[in-house]
Each structure stands twice: as structure tokens, then as C-alpha cells.
Amino acid sequence: MTEKKIDRKLIRHIALLARIEMTDEQAETLGRQFAGIVAYMDKLGELDTDGVEPMAHALDVRNVLAEDTPGRSLPVEQAMANAPARDGGFYKVPKVIGDSQ
Amino acid sequence: MSDILNLSALGLRDAIAAGEVSAAEATRDYLDAIEAMDKKVCAYNEIFAERAMGRAEEIDKKRSAGKTLGALAGVPVAVKDNICTSFGRTSCSSKILENFHAPYDATVAGKLESAGAIILGKTNMDEFAMGSSTENSAFNATRNPWDTSHVPGGSSGGSAAAVAARMCAAAVGSDTGGSIRQPAAFCGVVGLKPTYGRVSRYGLVAFGSSLDQIGPLARDVADSALLLGAIAGHDTHDSTSIDRPVPEYLASLDKPVEKLRVGLVKEFHSESLDDEIRAAVDKAVKIYRDAGAEIIEVSLPHSRVDTDEGGQLSSYAVACYYLVATAEASSNLARYDGVHYGHRTADKVGDIIELYSRSRAEGFGDEVKRRIMLGTYALSSGYYDAYYLKALKVRRLIKNDFDKAFENCDVLLCPVAPETAFKIGEKTADPLTMYLSDIYTISVNLAGIPGVSIPAGLSESGLPLAVQLLGNVFAEETLLRAARMYEMASGITRLTPEIVKEN
């Protein structure tokens, strides 16, 4: 399979993509476990899959379209009842566009 | 133990309908059993005692008023904690959803209640259904009722343990790679993963959306048929649920399948298999042969289990599964952002990326983080073709093997897990070893076919043994009838652990 090295830099990059903060120690441990797991996944390289159609869905089903008719939606109060922070009908978050961006 | 607890779900349903037992009595007995036993087993995350009693009294009133009762009227059941209920919490045994109250009922929860079932509580699981031992729960490690120093299996370990320990008449769980069948095997109950699309996933917290399926865990095959009938069916809220009539699974159950062709999966009957489990599969072969079935050796080359030089089990299916499932999980679990619902860091953060990253770091456990990371890696630029796309192609090869096997067979016979229930803590240090617990179950999810784990007696050390039967897509009726043939001929059914007898 592809040439790759599971180093701390790669783990840091993936952690950023996955939006999971990580200490150096955690990144270190994960890197070690990753190497083992990824080596295991590489076993798939032994199989010849040329011309094999990728299978994304277990059953041979077509796209399902629904009639465009209005139904009951979740009331705002109910939909937002679990929000950790809100301002009326809005979810409250820290600034999205920072000084550095 | 009260006599009520000894009845099967079907037996209890009939006793309630006949007025021999009231739904309130049954519910009270189960709540008492939970009270007495769950300190030792830790199967439940939350109990709805008051609500359950209220529902039971409604059923009793309905009955005395002569109204028509549902297929599960008065039957106390347990629901895995990743199935949304509009009452109580739906935590997925995760800190990130610890205080999450779902604003709606999953279709399955709604169907159970409209059939008259009494939902007793929500059961413990591996966090977000990621695990094979229920040790990845953020709250509790559920114990195996057969030996409390052993795991109940996972991820539906709470549901399996609750059924085995008579803390509910039956339960529902979810199965993404074996999460119903493996804990059912470890706890000595019947666990059925239906065909992908047979049961609606609406309101099931998503893990691997092309693999997830809800199914019953029950004490015997008839109860599994009863529950499947109640929860199966098309649902417009789940675009992957299939619009096909639901057969009367119970009606045909006791009718043996004529000229049954049982495929014995050659690759799964390997040297690496535990001796007692191999003997259980051999015994099942004999039972079917004696019942007049034809035994056909079949090959699933891409689900093959090998042992490498280091003695470690290896399989293409496991590699394929852990790429597909983690890729889907990394995408599904992106929704836990500390903004819309779920845990949000209490720290003062600079910007929104930091809010996401810290909330997720605090809220997710190690295994969930590992899988999100693995899936993100498999989908990331530069690795997508080599991992994710490759896995989807191998998935096709795995599926083709099954299609070929079912050209000549009605059901396939194989083990559920490579060993009996292992000790708590035994596999927590090495994630890969834990993944290998699913070596005989995961290809079933990749192929989308149904599979059932059936009790096969006890090992020398007193732990449950099991065998697995697999069916073709939407062939649950045949699968259950074949399972029932085994159950009747073997006489192995409704196994009762000592812990229950002592109670």
C-alpha cells in the first residue's frame, strides 16, 4: 500500500482534522497503537481488487425520494432543549472568525 | 426467583392476556429483580420504575375493558442506551451525551410501546457501541451473570446481561460488527441481527450507517421471533429501511425447514478455534444431519481466519470492517461539537475550533477517539484510495462469497466468537486483540445478511457456548425456523445462571 510513516506530526494532523485535542503523551500512545492497527489493515493490499466495484451499501437499493409535502417539524424549544449555551433561538458559540484568520 | 421471571416473553404475554398474571405484577417483579441483582451485574444505565408501573397499569386497564392488546402487551423489556427515548436519558454510555434527553422516540422504541411492551430502562454498552466487552462504557463495566469476573461481551453487553440475569423478559440492542450476537453468545441468550434495512434505524444513534442494525436479545428462539415481528418493517423516517412485508415469524416457527441445506463454513472451522466451541459447532452439524438436513461445506475465502507467525488471528474481513466502520464513525460522530447538544467544555476557549476540539477531547473515551482518528485517517487526502476505497472493494468480494454460498445453502453454520467470555481487563490494553473478538461476526454486517447466535450449552468452566446461523438477505423466517430446529433437538434453551437461582 502507500508509503507512510505514523509519526507524531501525522497524528497531530489527523487530530486537527478530527477536532480532538490531544496531549503529547496521548499522541505518542495513539501513534504506537495506530502503527499496529494500520499494519494490520495493510493486509488488504494482498488482495487483487482490480476491476472490483466498490460496495458502499449492503443492499441493491436505489435512491429513495419522498413526496415534497410539509410534515411536522420539531418545535424550536424542543430542538434546542439540549443546547449547552443559547441566546433565544440561537446557539451561542465563541467567535468564529478570529484575529489570526 | 418468582415464577413470572421464569416465563418467556411469549409465555408472559399469553399469561397476561389470559388474566393469569397482571402486567403490573410482572413489571413489579422485574423491577424487584433489578433492585436485587443489578448491583452485581450493572446492566442498566437508567431505570424508569414509575413510568413502567404506570404503563403496566394502563395495559391492565385495557385488558379488563376488553380492548385488543398488542403483541407484547405487558412484557417488560430493556432498551440499549443508543436507542432514543423521549423519556429519560439516551447517553450511549458516553460522557459527551451523559445528560442528553432525546426529543423523540426511535421508531423501535415507539413500536415496542405500541405493541404494549413495558420499557424498564436503558442498558449499558460500550461507548457509542464501539467495543466487544462493554468495558468501554464511560459509566460502568457490566458483569457477565454467569461469572461476574468475566465480561458480558459487547457492545450490547447490558442488554445481553439483563436478559440472562432475568432482569427483563427480552431486550433490544444494535449490531454493527457483532454487537448483538457476541454478547448473546457470552451470556447464553439468543441474539439476532436482522438483514440491513429490516428494522428501522430512525432514532438509533449512528455508528457505522451502512452496517448498523437493531435486533432482539431474548431467552429463546420464539421470543426472538416475537420481538422481531414487533420491531421490523418499513419506516419513511429511515430511507435505508426496506418496504417489504413482515412475515408472521411466530406462525411458521415450529415447522422444520424441509430439505434444509446447512453450509458449514470451512474457513471458520480452523485450528485457531477454541476446542469447546469447535465441538459445539460439530454437535450442531450432527443435530442438523440427524434432522435430515444436508450438510454442505462452503467457502468464504475473503472472510478467512488465519493465524500469523506471532499466533495472532488475522482476517481480511476484520481489516475491511475496521476501515469502513471507522470511516463512517468519524463522519457520524462529527455532530458532537459542544454546540447543539452534549458536553461542552467549561474552559474559556479562544475560538470555535478550540471549543470543538476541547469539548470532544473531554467528552469522548479512548476507544471512540481512536476510531474517529482511524476513520479520519482512512478518509484523508492521500490515504483515501489505499484504505477506504480498497476496503469498499474488499467488502464487495466478501459479499460475493456469501452470494455464492447461498446459491447452494439455506443457512450457514459457524462459531460466534473465537472463545467464551473473557475476563474483565484481559483485553483492554491492546485494541487490536479486542477487535479480533468480532472475527466471525463482522463479515455478516459487511454483507448485510441476517445472523443469529444460539446458546449451545456450557463450557467446562461454566460459561455459555454458542453457535451462529447466517441467512440470506430477508430470509429471517428460514433462519429462525432453522434455529428453532436446533433448539428443539438440542434441548438447550432458557439457560439460567446461578446468580439468578440464588436470588
For B288-291, which contacts have Cβ atoms below 8 Å and span 24 or more sequence positions? B288/B260, B288/B262, B288/B413, B288/B485, B288/B486, B290/B489, B291/B256, B291/B260, B291/B485, B291/B489
Q: Which residues are CB-contacts of B407 (< 8 A; sequence separation ≥ 6)?
A: none
Strand stretches in B311-410, DSSP E: 313-314
- B136, pLDDT greater than 90: yes
Q: Sorting pLDDT into bands at 50, 70 and 90, what band is A99? A: low
pLDDT score of B368: 98
pTM of the model: 0.97
Whether the ipTM is more than 0.90: the answer is: yes
What is the distance between the alpha carbons of residues B355 and A21, in angstroms, rounded to a whole number?
10
pLDDT score of B126: 98
pLDDT score of A3: 43
* Active-site residue set of B: 80, 155, 179
List the single residue in A with minimal CA-CA distance to B236: A66
Among the four given CATH numbers 1.20.120, 3.30.70, 1.10.20, 1.20.1300, the one describing domain A1-45: 1.10.20
pLDDT score of A100: 53
pLDDT in tens, B261-306: 999 999 888 777 889 999 999 999 999 999 999 999 999 999 988 8
- B485, pLDDT greater than 60: yes
Q: Do A18 and B376 touch (CB under 8 A)?
A: yes
Q: Domain segments of chain A: what residues?
A: 1-45
Q: Do A58 and B389 touch (CB under 8 A)?
A: no
Chain A residues with CB under 8 Å of B344 CB are 84-85
Percent of chain B with pLDDT over 90: 92
Q: Which residues are CB-contacts of B194 (< 8 A; sequence separation ≥ 6)?
A: B213, B214, B215, B228, B232, B450, B476
Cell of B480: 429462525
- B125, pLDDT greater than 90: yes
- B364, pLDDT greater than 60: yes
Residues 97-116 of chain B with CB under 8 A from chain A are: 99-101, 103-104
Percent of chain B with pLDDT over 70: 100
- A2, pLDDT greater than 50: no
CA B130-B136-B138 angle, 5° bins: 115
Q: Which residues pair with B297 in a beta bridge?
A: B264
The 3 state secondary structure assigned to B304-338 is CCEECCCCCEECHHHHHHHHHHHHHHHHHHHHCCC
What is the distance between the alpha carbons of residues B75 and B23, in angstroms, rounded to a whole number?
7
pLDDT in tens, B411-430: 999 999 999 999 999 999 88
What is the distance between the alpha carbons of residues B127 and B336, in angstroms, rounded to a whole number?
13
The answer, for B300 touching chain A at a CB cutoff of 8 Å, is no
Domains and CATH numbers, chain B: 3-256 (3.90.1300.10)
Q: Which residues are CB-contacts of A51 (< 8 A; sequence separation ≥ 6)?
A: none
Q: Sorting pLDDT into bands at 50, 70 and 90, what band is A4? A: low
